Amino acid sequence: MLTEPYDIVIVGGGLVGLSLALAIGQAQQKGGLRLKATVVEPFPMTSHETGANPSFDARSTALSYSTEKIYRRLGIWSSVESQAAAIQRIHVSDKGQWGATRLIASDQGLDAYGHVAPNEILGKALYQAFHQQSQVKLAASQKVSSLEPTPDGYRLSLCDSKGLPTRELSARLVVVTDGGRSNLAEQLGIVYKTSDYQQNAVIANVGLSRAHENIAYERFTGDGAMALLPLVDYVARSEAVGESASRLHRSALVWTVPSRQAPGLLELNEEAFLSRLQSVFGHRAGRFIRVGERHTYPLQLKTSLEQVRPGLVMLGNSAHTLHPVAGQGYNLALRDAMTLAECLCQVTTAEQVGSLEVLNRYYEMQREDQSRTILGSDGLLKIFGSKSSMLRKARSFGLVSLNLLGPVKSHFTEMAMGVSGVAREWQ
């Protein structure tokens, strides 16, 4: 089989791989050195269909302020904004404790801390923009089955959904953004530091008896953490009555529970699920009246001990998988992706894209942002996940002091917005 030569191959067209491909494609379109690049994605990709790709499933994503700025740069914010609910207030509480924190964006001179958008909308916006550029190509409906180092980079074998070989590619640089869903990291001998939270996230969109007023709730229970994030109302138009429409107030629920409890929550009928949710969450957001499709994900903090090698970068979930309650996984990976695209588009010869010098420069630029974000969200969960009575009292005090102390509040806010001291300014 003939080997097709590329400068860059991105393995996986999920949230992170597609964002990177778009950034590289747009930068190339503006001029400079032309790099031959492609994305390989097992699912079909067209400009209007995200298909069954699990990256764009029923989940919603909290987009930080830094992500909004990056999306503006990529020209896709206008497609996302109308379907994204602003987070104007954050309410943090601890079940059974008297402390609670209320963060109000306008008190800090902000319009919003961030926005929440369904993954399907993000997928559509990214796919459409990707299809409008012509620099980065696409190998859809195929996956990378093996990766082998060569003196100039890597050789990649592709196969179809039945596992039958389709193509062979060579690349000076391979960016692995497969979400850690394949065995490629194992083939490459990439070692991970893993800490299993022994928890699962149960996610669903829930209907509320009243408007969410753009409040995001973070609630810590003895068993785990819950996030209830505002979504744009669902409007169902009835053709029978012409213009009339029924409106459903909605929020996105991420409910983390000990892993053994997750199957039971999926099996409950709607009424029983809503009643269980109401008893754990309380009535601060009103009554829960509907629940959409429920999914569950096992939760781990997984960080790769090696992110760059000559000719190789691990990116997105393949580099670091975070607990979803802090809502930082994609936001951080997007900042990584934009920094990598910038470093790659500054090279003066194609040979340099795989050089360790360029790849180390990228990693050095993002290292501190990564470690602060990872430590910040893991630390939050360790403090709030603990059942120790001392820690419960301390965190109750912590919530109150967070309410009172301006600088502490600002630090918490900066992390939530993805603009903490070390995260770069994305204008």
Ligand X SMILES: Cc1cc2nc3c(=O)[nH]c(=O)nc-3n(C[C@H](O)[C@H](O)[C@H](O)COP(=O)(O)OP(=O)(O)OC[C@H]3O[C@@H](n4cnc5c(N)ncnc54)[C@H](O)[C@@H]3O)c2cc1C
Q: Compare residues 234 and 297 and give the one whose CB is closer to ligand X.
A: 297
62 binds ligand X (CB under 6 A): yes
* Neighbouring-strand partners of residue 49: 46
Asked whether the CA dihedral 289, 293, 296, 301 is positive or negative, the reply is: negative
230: left (phi over 0), alpha (psi -120 to 50) or beta: beta
177 binds ligand X (CB under 6 A): yes
Size of the site for ligand X (CB under 6 A): 37
Task: Identify the DSSP state of 244.
Answer: -
For strands 234-237 and 114-118, give the pairing. Answer: unpaired
Q: Exactly one of 25, 42, 153, 230 binds ligand X (CB under 6 A); which one?
A: 42
Work out how close the CB of 86 gets to ligand X at its nearest, in angstroms, rounded to a whole number.
14
218 binds ligand X (CB under 6 A): no
What is the per-residue binding string for ligand X in 288-307, x denoting contact by CB under 6 A?
A: ---------x----------
Work out how close the CB of 19 gets to ligand X at its nearest, in angstroms, rounded to a whole number.
8
Reading the block at residue 331, the tokens are: 């936001």
Task: Check if the beta carbon of residue 383 is closer than 8 Å to that of residue 391.
Answer: yes
Work out how close the CB of 330 gets to ligand X at its nearest, in angstroms, rounded to a whole number.
3
Q: Compare residues 11 and 105 and give the one whose CB is closer to ligand X.
A: 11
* Alpha-carbon dihedral 167, 170, 175, 176, rounded to 10 degrees: 40
Q: Interface with ligand X by CB under 6 A: which range of 89-97, 174-182, 230-238, 388-396?
A: 174-182
Q: Exactly one of 99, 329, 354, 385 binds ligand X (CB under 6 A); which one?
A: 329
7 binds ligand X (CB under 6 A): no
254 binds ligand X (CB under 6 A): yes
- Report the alpha-carbon distance of residue 309 to residue 277 in Å, rounded: 46
Work out how close the CB of 28 gets to ligand X at its nearest, in angstroms, rounded to a whole number.
21
* Alpha-carbon dihedral 240, 244, 249, 250, rounded to 10 degrees: 40
Work out how close the CB of 252 gets to ligand X at its nearest, in angstroms, rounded to a whole number.
8
Reading the block at residue 86, the tokens are: 């602003």
Work out how close the CB of 352 gets to ligand X at its nearest, in angstroms, rounded to a whole number.
25
14 binds ligand X (CB under 6 A): yes
- Max CA distance (Å), the chain: 67
- Report the alpha-carbon distance of residue 148 to residue 130 in Å, rounded: 28
Task: Check if the beta carbon of residue 395 is closer than 8 Å to that of residue 361.
Answer: no
373 binds ligand X (CB under 6 A): no
324 binds ligand X (CB under 6 A): yes
For strands 3-11 and 37-41, give the pairing. Answer: parallel
**Residue whose pair of structure tokens reads 């996940």 in the numeric block:** 385
328 binds ligand X (CB under 6 A): yes
**Residue whose pair of structure tokens reads 């603990």 in the numeric block:** 386
- Residue type at 311 in one-letter notation: G
Task: Check if the beta carbon of residue 158 is closer than 8 Å to that of residue 316.
Answer: no
Work out how close the CB of 400 gets to ligand X at its nearest, in angstroms, rounded to a whole number.
26
53 binds ligand X (CB under 6 A): yes
Work out how close the CB of 120 gets to ligand X at its nearest, in angstroms, rounded to a whole number.
13
Residues that bind ligand X (CB under 6 A): 11-17, 40-43, 53, 55, 59, 61-62, 143-144, 177-179, 181-182, 184, 201, 203, 254, 297, 316-317, 324, 327-331, 333
